[in-house]
Amino acid sequence: MKSHNFDEPSMSASGEAASVADVDEEFRRDLLDLIPFLRAFSRSLCGDRELADDLAQEALAKAWQSRDTFRAGSNLKAWLFTILRNQFYSDRRRAWRQAPWDDSAAERVPIARGEQTWAVQLSDTARALRGLPAEQREALILVGAGGFSYEDAAKISNCAVGTVKSRVARARKALSAALEGNGPLPSEPRPAGGDATNEIMAQLDRLAPFDPSGTGQGSTDKTDPT
Amino acid sequence: MIAARSRQRAIGRELRRMYDEVVQEPVPDDFLDLLKKIDETKGKKDGAS
């Protein structure tokens, strides 16, 4: 009998209890590795950071408690996202359903926390994203940002592949129209020394509908290249 | 057409940027402690029954 490394789950019948513990340990580490993605998906559904983390923690707890129902070899990330999504929709009275993307709530969040949250950062895309029906927002995030295939997104959203495709298409169209409403995206060369992100941020700054400070510095970048 | 396509590309980049920004955030400690707490609670319950 050899002690096995957690990286090499052994199928040998060298003691049921030890084997289960190993599988659990591996599963636990896999789950922990996925927390950043779970938080990102949750934030995209809820908008608000605190609510999103509450929801993500609930989903994580549920996933851990129902780990026996996970089919080994299938997509753990999709499984985890499915749990989160079901939690999100399961009880409409819950806070994250009650006040998703609420403007007044967003304004109550202190901005000077040294952290950018979707609710307070509000790029034009984020603003437009907020206006989408939850199902469209979810489909667009899964496919457009989360890197899921239409098939996996359909499984997570418990709908047909065609439905996901149509939700993504409608979401893209709506976002595009919303941004167009603010004026055409400038197709100017990127700012000198800027990377792709700076370019986008610069574009979005130019598109900002209002600028209370009047300085044209709509975004508070945490990194200063100087 | 070209303007619409470049707008779609900009939207795609911005979506990924927002998502990745959260992914890059350090995971709050309470997340990491969560599974441990669940096991401890369960352990107590199992022990009591």
Query: Residue A136: inside a domain, yes or no?
Result: yes
Interface of B with A (CB under 8 A): 2-4, 6-8, 10-25, 27-28, 30-32, 34-35, 38
pTM, two decimals, is 0.68
Tokens of A119: 């609710």
The helix/strand/coil state of A113 is: coil
Q: What percent of chain A has pLDDT over 90?
A: 41
Amino acid at A70: F
Q: How far apart are CA A160 and CA A201, in angstroms?
A: 35
The C-alpha angle with vertex B11 and arms to B9 and B15, in degrees rounded to 5, equals 120
Q: Domain containing B18: what range? A: 2-48
Give yes or no for residue A51 having a pLDDT over 50. Answer: yes
Query: Residue A182: inside a domain, yes or no?
Result: yes
Query: Residue A38: inside a domain, yes or no?
Result: yes
Q: Domain containing A129: what range? A: 122-213
**Best interface-test mutation with A: which of B9, B15, B29 has the largest number of A CBs within 10 A?**
B15
Domain shared by A163 and A91, yes or no: no
State how far Cα A145 lies from the chain centre: 8
Query: Residue A25: inside a domain, yes or no?
Result: yes
Give yes or no for residue A131 having a pLDDT over 80. Answer: yes
Mean pLDDT lowest for which of A136-150, A151-165, A211-225, B21-35? A211-225
Residue A179 sits in a domain whose CATH number is 1.10.10.10
Q: How far apart are CA A222 and CA B21, in angstroms?
A: 12
Give yes or no for residue A193 having a pLDDT over 70. Answer: no
Query: Residue A204: inside a domain, yes or no?
Result: yes
Give me the number of domains chain A comprises: 2
ipTM of the complex: 0.85
Query: Residue A3: inside a domain, yes or no?
Result: no
Helix axes of A76-90 and A16-46: crossing angle, nearest 10 degrees = 50
Give me the number of domains chain B comprises: 1
Query: A200 to chain B: which residues are within 8 Å by CB?
Result: 10, 13-14, 17
**Best interface-test mutation with A: which of B11, B31, B33, B36 has the largest number of A CBs within 10 A?**
B11
